[in-house]
Amino acid sequence: MNDRILGLLGICLRAGKLTLGNDMVLSGAENGEVVLVVTAKDISKNTLKKILSCCERCGVRHIPLDRTKDEMSLALGRLCVVAGIRDEGFSKKISELAENNRR
């Protein structure tokens, strides 16, 4: 799989700077540990609503990826619909890659 965003998320996971799962990401955002939240494009509306509300309340940036939960899960080796990045460097690079993909 040649996908730079998913590859970078995998590196972030191996570096111990990625939080997976809705509850863990929400908790991390509220504690100030998570600096960026990324979501799969096929996330449920209810879960997305909770994520967006928390991100807005906590001042955490959210980026909807143009990847499905299956693609994210395959790249990370575990079920994943939402992920929280806990490192500014990874956050910046993922944001840049996501922005470039939208152009």
Q: What is the pLDDT of residues 4-54, one digit of tens each?
A: 999 999 999 999 999 999 999 999 999 999 999 999 999 999 999 999 999
Looking at the whole model, is its pTM more than 0.85?
Answer: yes
Q: How many domains does the chain have?
A: 1
For residue 83, what are the β-bridge partners? 20, 38
CATH code, domain carrying 16: 3.30.1330.30
H-only helix segments in the chain: 4-14, 22-30, 45-58, 69-76, 88-102
d(CA 72, CA 13): 12
Range of the domain at 86: 4-102
